[in-house]
Structures are given as C-alpha cells and as structure tokens.
C-alpha cells in the first residue's frame, strides 16, 4: 500500500472476460469534489475502464455531497436497481464510502455530533448488511482532515479524534460482516503530515487533484478489490 505508482497491468490493460458492473455510493469522496482535473478517483477509474469500450468494466458514480450514513442507506436499494443499462443486469459489486460527515460536530469544536457514535455504529452495520443482500461489497474509508482549516462551512468542526472513533466503527462493522475495508485514514496519516496535507484542498476536508490520484492508486493497490477485476 505504500506504492502510489499505477500498475497499468492491474489497471485494466487486460480486462477480465466478463466485464463487471459496479456502483459507488457515498459522499463527496465518491462524488469527487475538489478535483477539477480528474473528477475524483471514481471518475478516473471509470475513464480507465471506458478505454476498453464494451469489453471494459462499468462504473456508476452515485456520490452525493454532504451525505451521511442515513442518506446513503435510504437510497441504496433504488440506486442499485436503476442504473441505465444495469436495469437488465444488476450490478456485480457495490463500493461504499461514507462516514466523515457523520463524525463532525455542529456549532463548536465540542458541540453535539452530527450523528452520535452509538447511532452511527448501528447505522453503518445496517447499511453494510443491507448492501450485502444485493451483491459483494467493498468499503473505502475516509481520509484525515486538516483540523487547522476548521470550521467547514462556518459551522462544522472535524477532528482526528472524532474521525478515529468513526473510522474504527466502520472497520469493526466491516470485520463483523466480512467486508473488505480500505483504511485510508490510518494509511494516509502513516505517510506523514507533509504528505497528506499536500493532498487536501484549501477547505481542509476534501482531497485535491493530487489527493484523488493518491486514492485511486491506493484502490488499485488494494488486493481484495483488484482480485475481482482479473
């Protein structure tokens, strides 16, 4: 996971015999906010796959800025079943990425949590369980924020202390349900402050162009996910 250079053999130089249909649901990390050049890591991956035409895998970006676990849960089933060409063939996998918006505090650094940790623990478990009833699931975790840039939108305070708790809740839920989890939060922090700070937008919350490129590299180095592409 330390190598960030894309391996073109892994990144679909040889697509599998049966192209996959994937949907990615979540918040702005799925949507790609903050990357005017590449449109985010999901869009970058979609473009790679599209180079192979009808033989390439298909990706649908279903990210919504500001979504929390409840919003993603509410739209999961309908989004899964209604994706253009996918109406005649249900998706082969779901990529989930949500949680950072639930972790913030409202109004002040020690204000109420947007979603209480107890509620989040139950809700994230319910979301993963619901998704598993549809098809195989992969979970891409949150990245660290720049605490010095807070508050976001003049009222939302994000911190590493809170992120760590919600990240652990996601990790535990994935472990319980047997879902592959890409722990970007710990992985990015382990690379040093200078490294991860340079990959955040000025708002301190969203990745920049360099950051989304790094996420894509991490996804393409994720053995559990790339195994289904072969």
Answer whether residue 53 is part of any domain: yes
Residue 104 is encoded by which pair of tokens?
């913030």
Query: Regarding beta strands 105-106 and 156-157, do their DSSP bridges make them parallel or antiparallel, or are they unpaired?
Result: antiparallel
Supply the range of the domain harboring residue 64.
Answer: 17-112+122-142+172-229
The model scores a pTM over 0.95: no
Q: Kindly state whether residue 10 falls inside one of the protein's structural domains.
A: no
CA 68 vs. chain centroid, Å, equals 12
Q: What is the CATH number of the domain that holds 41?
A: 3.40.50.1110
Alpha-carbon distance of 186 to 164, in angstroms, equals: 9
Task: Yes or no: say if 98 and 143 are a contact pair by the CB < 8 Å rule.
Answer: no
pLDDT tens-place string over residues 34-88: 999 999 999 999 999 999 887 889 999 999 999 999 999 999 999 998 876 666 7
Q: What is the 3-state secondary structure (H, E, C) of 3-18?
A: CCCCCCHHHHHCCCCC
Provide the number of structural domains found in the chain.
Answer: 1
HSE, side-chain direction, 13 A CA sphere, residue 15: 16
What strands lie across the sheet with 180-182, from one edge to the other?
Answer: 58-63, 21-26, 93-97, 137-140, 180-182
Reported residue count of the chain is 230
- How does pLDDT run across 174-222, given as a tens digit for each residue? 999 999 999 999 999 999 999 999 999 999 999 999 999 999 999 999 9
Domain membership flag for residue 138: yes
Identify the residue whose tokens are 């660290």. Answer: 144
Q: How do residues 106-151 score in pLDDT, each as one tens digit? A: 999 999 999 999 999 999 999 999 999 999 999 999 999 999 999 9
Per-residue pLDDT tens for 147-167?
Answer: 999 999 999 999 999 999 999
């Amino acid at each position: 996971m330390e190598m960030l250079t894309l391996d073109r053999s892994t990144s679909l130089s040889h697509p599998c015999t049966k192209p996959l249909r994937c949907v990615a649901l979540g918040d702005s990390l799925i949507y790609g906010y903050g990357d005017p050049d590449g449109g985010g890591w999901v869009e970058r991956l979609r473009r790679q796959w599209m180079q192979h035409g009808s033989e390439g895998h298909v990706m649908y970006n279903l990210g919504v800025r500001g979504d929390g676990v409840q919003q993603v849960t509410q739209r999961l089933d309908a989004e899964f079943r209604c994706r253009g060409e996918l109406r005649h063939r249900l998706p082969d996998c779901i990529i989930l990425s949500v949680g950072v918006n639930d972790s913030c505090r409202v109004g002040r650094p020690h204000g109420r949590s947007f979603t209480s940790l107890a509620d989040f623990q139950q809700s994230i478990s319910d979301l993963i369980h619901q998704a598993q009833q549809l098809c195989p699931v992969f979970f891409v975790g949150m990245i660290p924020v720049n605490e010095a840039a807070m508050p976001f939108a003049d009222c939302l305070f994000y911190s590493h202390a809170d992120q760590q708790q919600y990240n652990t809740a996601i990790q535990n839920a994935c472990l319980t349900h047997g879902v592959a989890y890409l722990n970007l939060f710990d992985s990015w922090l382990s690379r040093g402050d200078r490294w991860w700070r340079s990959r955040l937008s000025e708002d301190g919350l969203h990745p920049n162009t360099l950051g989304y490129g790094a996420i894509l590299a991490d996804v393409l180095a994720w053995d559990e996910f790339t195994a289904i592409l072969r």
